[in-house]
């Protein structure tokens, strides 16, 4: 029997005799050891609870949650976190932590109430910055909830975070466009650009009424100036890629080739038109204005515009901008990846697969963004019905980061599917 087991056995003897203080002395020995079993915090907390020391019990349960999270036992962490909250419902940070843990497990619906409770407590405390954080996390858990986004934008406006408000309104516009609500999307688009056009690098939207042409021209020119000035102020710092490439298995990857115009197609689709706002006309005029203001080698600006177009649900426009950005060594991988995500969202799975493959060949397994792009590649394979290739991608991620969000569920589903196919 090892030392920890001996101590636990002695503590249990004291507990069976009702000697809580002696039992706690034994548990303190466990907690002072170099490696502590997360459950030891729970055992010690339970004893304090029996003694009536709720505060100390809660403190130990919080440590247990942290310890379980550290070793990747998220379900255990959530269970103990709930126990702590039953004893002290005011533990705002615990709500935030449990929400995050549930997101790790792919349980966004269950995470949402935790983030909203965190927001509620912080609002009541007058901690506006963290109240905003709570709503940001809630919107991440429920990205298609327009009402939540409206609440978040209201807080952004109150704190003069107009750029953040504009970006969130633009994102909501994309959600509505995805639902087929073109007019609603256009209205949110207009609000976003009126809020802070420069933050979006996009044109302002005007209602098409008689006598409005001069105002339309002025709004486009104003936004063009804002974009140009924004580009001039940019620093050399760039956004970190959120995902990354995949396996070099010859059965998965095709020979490399340059990402040139036409290599990933942009299919023509009929777009529904708003009954009162003509976005197409404004986009056309905006692009014409910007051709003289943003050079073809201003790759960051083209990448940023591609990202904004994607958020708006304007996938053809996004892909055209990303083609330009992909000519840069600095932006090539990010442009490939974002192009792949665009194709996935509009059901062009072959094109998505090709874009992800081209991004992957630029990376090694040591790159921090590799598992994320590998996950996207697997998703594209799965969408095409190529189950075994998809499984290889997710197994590759497992070998690099077994705790990658959503990985466990995808692996289990694909392994079952492969077994059924054979």
CB 164 within 8 A of CB 154: no
Write out 302-316 in H/E/C secondary structure. HHHHHHHHHHHCCHH
CB-based contacts of 299: which residues, under 8 Å, 6+ apart?
Answer: 324, 325, 327, 328, 330, 331
Dist CA 117 CA 114 (whole Å): 5
CB-based contacts of 329: which residues, under 8 Å, 6+ apart?
Answer: none
Q: Which fold has domain 1-88?
A: 1.25.40
The reported pLDDT for the residue numbered 211 is 42
Instruction: Report the residue count for the chain.
Output: 422
The reported pLDDT for the residue numbered 123 is 94
The reported pLDDT for the residue numbered 35 is 82
The reported pLDDT for the residue numbered 5 is 84
Q: Which structure tokens are listed for 138?
A: 């809630």
- The answer to whether 1-88 and 279-421 have equal CATH topology is yes
Sites in the chain below the pLDDT cut of 70: 1, 201-297, 422
The reported pLDDT for the residue numbered 409 is 83
The reported pLDDT for the residue numbered 309 is 77
The reported pLDDT for the residue numbered 212 is 41
The reported pLDDT for the residue numbered 316 is 84
CB 9 within 8 A of CB 27: no
What residues form DSSP beta bridges with 277?
Answer: 207
The reported pLDDT for the residue numbered 254 is 39
**CA 107, 132, 147, 103: dihedral to nearest 10 degrees?**
-10
User: Closest by alpha carbon to 178, among 244, 272, 47, 80?
Assistant: 272
Architecture of domain 279-421: Alpha Horseshoe (1.25)
Residue 225 burial by Cβ neighbours in a 10 Å radius (0-12, 13-18, 19+): middle
The reported pLDDT for the residue numbered 293 is 59
Long-range contact list for 114-119, CB < 8 A, 24+ apart? Answer: 115/141, 117/92, 118/92, 118/93
pLDDT tens, position by position, 107-123: 889 999 999 999 999 99
Dist CA 404 CA 369 (whole Å): 12
The reported pLDDT for the residue numbered 11 is 86
The reported pLDDT for the residue numbered 389 is 93
The reported pLDDT for the residue numbered 57 is 94
Please report, for the chain, the start and end positions of each structural domain, with discontinuous segments joined by +. 1-88, 279-421
The reported pLDDT for the residue numbered 287 is 59
The reported pLDDT for the residue numbered 147 is 93
Write out 42-76 in H/E/C secondary structure. HHHHHHHHHCCCHHHHHHHHHHHHHHHHHCCCHHH
Dist CA 103 CA 372 (whole Å): 16
CA distances from 106 to 71, 137, 404 (A): 18, 14, 11
């Amino acid at each position: 029997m090892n030392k920890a087991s001996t101590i636990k056995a002695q503590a249990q003897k004291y507990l069976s005799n009702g000697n809580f203080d002696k039992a706690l002395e034994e548990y303190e020995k466990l907690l002072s050891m170099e490696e502590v079993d997360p459950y030891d915090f729970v055992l010690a907390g339970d004893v304090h609870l029996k003694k009536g020391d709720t505060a100390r019990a809660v403190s130990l349960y919080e440590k247990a949650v942290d310890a379980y999270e550290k070793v990747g036992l998220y379900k255990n962490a959530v269970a103990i976190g709930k126990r702590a909250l039953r004893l002290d419902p005011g533990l705002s940070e615990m709500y935030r932590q449990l929400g995050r843990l549930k997101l790790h497990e792919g349980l966004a619906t269950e995470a949402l109430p935790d983030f909203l409770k965190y927001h509620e407590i912080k609002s009541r405390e007058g901690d506006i910055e963290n109240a905003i954080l709570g709503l940001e996390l809630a919107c991440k858990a429920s990205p298609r909830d327009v009402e939540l986004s409206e609440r978040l934008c209201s807080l952004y406006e109150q704190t003069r975070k107009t750029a953040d408000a504009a970006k969130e309104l633009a994102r909501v516009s994309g959600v509505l466009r995805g639902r087929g609500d073109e007019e609603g999307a256009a209205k949110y688009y207009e609000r976003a650009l009126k809020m802070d056009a420069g933050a979006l690098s996009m044109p302002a939207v005007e209602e098409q009424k008689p006598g409005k042409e001069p105002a339309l021209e002025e709004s486009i020119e104003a936004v063009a100036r804002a974009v140009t000035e924004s580009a001039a102020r940019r620093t050399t710092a760039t956004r970190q890629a959120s995902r990354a490439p995949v396996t070099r298995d010859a059965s998965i990857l095709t020979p490399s080739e340059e990402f040139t115009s036409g290599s990933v197609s942009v299919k023509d689709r009929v777009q529904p038109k708003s009954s009162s706002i003509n976005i197409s006309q404004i986009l056309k005029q905006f692009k014409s204005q910007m051709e003289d203001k943003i050079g073809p080698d201003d790759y960051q600006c083209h990448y940023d515009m591609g990202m904004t177009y994607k958020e708006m649900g304007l996938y053809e426009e996004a892909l055209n901008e990303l083609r330009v950005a992909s000519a840069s060594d600095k932006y090539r991988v990010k442009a490939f990846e974002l192009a792949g995500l665009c194709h996935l969202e509009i059901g062009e799975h072959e094109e998505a697969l090709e874009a992800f493959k081209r991004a992957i060949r630029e990376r090694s397994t040591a790159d921090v963004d590799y598992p994320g792009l590998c996950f996207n590649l697997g998703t594209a394979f799965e969408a095409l019905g190529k189950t075994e290739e998809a499984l290889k991608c997710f197994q590759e991620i497992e070998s690099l980061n077994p705790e990658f969000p959503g990985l466990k569920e995808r692996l289990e589903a694909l392994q079952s599917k492969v077994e059924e196919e054979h």
